[in-house]
Structure 1
């Protein structure tokens, strides 16, 4: 905490030393910013390609063709949408069971285990791997088998809390890495083999050997594999302690991820952290915000947890920088006003001095015209500045309230989860397996937490906008007013439009927040628009203006 405090002070006062990027690094970061701006088009192309593949799947004739086509679909969805990937693997497993082909069945189970691992479902992933018969696997699936187990135990080692468990998982990861390399299951000139060899070198402290091995692969293969090679290279430099080269190759990997495009990635969050430590707070904040949006869209739980570790600190520093800019804008406004005052005095003086001649009158007229133009520009600038200050003040008020509530709620959830863990531990220690299973199977804990979460959201929102319910009902026909049930502060319809007031207008995000389907959210919004006292199309825009401060 003390370290973070001093870091905030240094950045706020402009004392943090910012290392000058080499021209190549600046060029890479500018390229990355450009690619991020162009990314929506790449995502649309990706979605179009997915729709085309799904259409081909629907035209597949035999079950075997469908099985193979699902594999191609899974390859496209793997780093783009975790939920869709999980659904595809389950569908592929059902097809393999109906085909009664052992090779297909083992392949589908390993697909399912891989996706479960990405989603953080380690126990379930290992259960699927236990069902695979290693002795009966063909060569290409044996590679996949050892790769899956090595990756799973690597993730488990990264996120486990107990030190002895971390050591055990790392040993298992090394065993499966050695199995991949020593058994010569892979072709030695493939990027997959080279990556595994590099990770083996990194674990052994042989960083220079890993760097020499992976560098040639930056020049070959498609964009996705170049990004993987660049990320592997950044890991070697990072473990070696060369942060400049680590940052460079993280930027190259992030560019590839944005162009591919994928929504589940590791390079951009690590790059944001590196830039934050170098003092480039604005870029770090922008990148982390994009990472969080992508992780939520992809439902990549592991990435969300990673980003949540650093995002509150970056956000706090970013807000301090905004406050500093506000103060600078205030001084600028005062300076402009003072300069305007002196300009008026100067014009008056010139007019008095030049009244005697016709030339003087013409110069005074020209000065007056120029002064009018300057005053108009100043008036426009003042209006723009007032509007900007109003927006910044309102956004700061909302962010401060929700960041405070977010930090309190995270702390409370950690305590509740720890308490729940201790209760389960007591049941396990007592050998009461049946009660332990019932507790794990029950959804009461989640339901209660959701209820408390929505109640907390209602309280926070109504503290910020105490007259929201009355103001919202004023936009509806009198007979269509929405009244929450007794004991509730807001119901689902009010929460939907509360989120719209906060700037969240995407039905997908609203559905994810309220745990409803997108169709349900769309129906709620349509039903309420039909109750509008005025124009239905203007209702949501008027809701977004509720409680805004006067300019």
Structure 2
């Protein structure tokens, strides 16, 4: 993703640089993901740290990833590190993270709070590194405070403090380093004498051999661009703004200025590219919101209305011309359009009628199938009823013959035994059950499957080999055809009412829904 890192500062014209900027903007989500992954690795290392010093170093690294990326997360990091330093009694890191806090506060416009945080730093125990961070935070606080004030009363005071701390900072930075040249150029560009030529030379020295993927590159190119603007070299101004904006995306650096400066420059110099200016300013707004930088949001709020209004006016003019063209074409086409609308309407109505007719035909066919099935079921009922009547008429005849024979043979005791027997013989009962089971499943062939669907999967009832229905299924088959009274079911199945009740309760306990179980059974195998 970072193929842009190595390109030359002076390579390519503005068109080439804009293409590279567009590439960086297209991949800004990828750069952010790489950043988040790096931060995630550092956070994991904090949890694995074996010593306080290691934890402090890791918190320092996390801060330097966050402080130009996301304000809230950077503050969380500073809070954690400062609490740990206080707990461990480490004065150096207490002071260091207080300085970091001040830098963050001034970045987002909390100037008084930033100065208060810097005042709380114990300067008696400073070492060179801490002194550098302290002067840098002080310089930054008064610089942005002066820019924010932008008046003739307070701004000059803050500017003087900025210059004083800039001199102090230069005194502790390694001479002839890139950072030294950058800070020197910054002071020359913002100092009282405003030596733009010296600032240009020092910014270029700071940029020598510097990678585009570093924050110093982004800051130096932005500073150099502003110097060229003061010198009236607007092509170089635009070029270095683009380079800075590219670096902002690659770092990625959400606390940035170059993109909104570039948007404003495009808006003021190229009327035809108002849409591009609007888009670039939108990216700046997105970054400011992501970072939670209220100062940048205020800056953008001042610039946004004019660009948006111009963009809307441009779109309005385009829309007006387009409307005229469309109106002219519409007038020429109105006759054809009306004809097409009429034809389409007629075809749509015809299609709707055909669809309605087809739907009615489908319903009629389905209804006919249901009626045929219902008639068949009724025939089955009649056939079953006649078969049972015939069977019991035959049994009654045989029973009468038996009684006559017993009476003629004076076998009164045998006859009394037969009459007093309260239970059907086992063969007769078995025959009755076979007839009932066969007839019932002929009428309701899906009964067993639908009945088991009401039970929990591990409690389903399957007839044994050789059975058609078992006792449980037979009880609820009678419930299905409307015989719900346990006494009646007991009479038909030759059990006591208590036994039938026990069977029903046991099966009901296996149901998925117990409360309405028997109502669900009554609704099984609906006919029509």
Matched-pair contact (CA < 8 Å) for 1:86–1:116? no
Instruction: Tell me the equivalent position of 2:236.
Output: 245
Q: Deviations over 1:299-324 (max 9, x none)?
A: 01111111001101111111111111
Does 2:154 correspond to 1:165?
yes
1:187 and 1:72 map into 2 onto residues whose CA distance is 21
1:38 and 1:339 map into 2 onto residues whose CA distance is 47
1:24 and 1:164 map into 2 onto residues whose CA distance is 43
Instruction: Tell me the equivalent position of 2:307.
Output: 314
Choose the corresponding residue for 1:196, options 183, 188, 193: 183
Instruction: Tell me the equivalent position of 2:40.
Output: 51
* Shift of residue 219, structure 1, vs aligned partner: 4.2
Residue aligned with 2:49, SS: coil
Does 2:214 correspond to 1:221?
no
1:336 and 1:218 map into 2 onto residues whose CA distance is 58
2:151 and 2:226 map into 1 onto residues whose CA distance is 24
Instruction: Tell me the equivalent position of 1:273.
Output: 264
Does 2:270 correspond to 1:256?
no
Choose the corresponding residue for 1:291, options 280, 284, 303: 284
* Shift of residue 75, structure 1, vs aligned partner: 0.7
Instruction: Tell me the equivalent position of 2:323.
Output: 330
Q: Deviations over 1:234-257 (max 9, x none)?
A: 121122232221111011100110
1:23 and 1:60 map into 2 onto residues whose CA distance is 47
Instruction: Tell me the equivalent position of 1:186.
Output: 173
* Shift of residue 44, structure 1, vs aligned partner: 1.6
Matched-pair contact (CA < 8 Å) for 1:219–1:226? no
* Shift of residue 331, structure 1, vs aligned partner: 3.2
1:153 and 1:291 map into 2 onto residues whose CA distance is 24
Q: What TM-score results when the alignment is normalised by the length of structure 1?
A: 0.55
Instruction: Tell me the equivalent position of 2:80.
Output: 91
* Shift of residue 34, structure 1, vs aligned partner: 2.1
Instruction: Tell me the equivalent position of 1:142.
Output: 131
RMSD: 2.4
Q: Deviations over 1:476-502 (max 9, x none)?
A: xxxxxxxxxxxxxxxxxxxxxxxxxxx
5+ residue gaps, structure 1, are: 1-21, 345-371, 373-551
2:130 and 2:177 map into 1 onto residues whose CA distance is 16
2:143 and 2:109 map into 1 onto residues whose CA distance is 12
Count of matched residue positions in the alignment of Structure 1 and Structure 2: 322
Matched-pair contact (CA < 8 Å) for 2:182–2:220? yes
* Shift of residue 334, structure 1, vs aligned partner: 4.3
Q: Deviations over 1:489-534 (max 9, x none)?
A: xxxxxxxxxxxxxxxxxxxxxxxxxxxxxxxxxxxxxxxxxxxxxx
2:87 and 2:105 map into 1 onto residues whose CA distance is 22
1:63 and 1:234 map into 2 onto residues whose CA distance is 43
Instruction: Tell me the equivalent position of 1:133.
Output: 122
Matched-pair contact (CA < 8 Å) for 1:154–1:169? yes
Does 2:98 correspond to 1:109?
yes
Matched-pair contact (CA < 8 Å) for 1:272–1:285? yes
Matched-pair contact (CA < 8 Å) for 1:220–1:226? no
* Shift of residue 230, structure 1, vs aligned partner: 0.9
> Where in structure 2 are the equivalents of 1:72-83 lying within 5 Å?
72-83=61-72
Residue aligned with 1:75, SS: helix
* Shift of residue 30, structure 1, vs aligned partner: 2.3
The structure that has the greater radius of gyration is 2
5+ residue gaps, structure 2, are: 1-10, 341-528
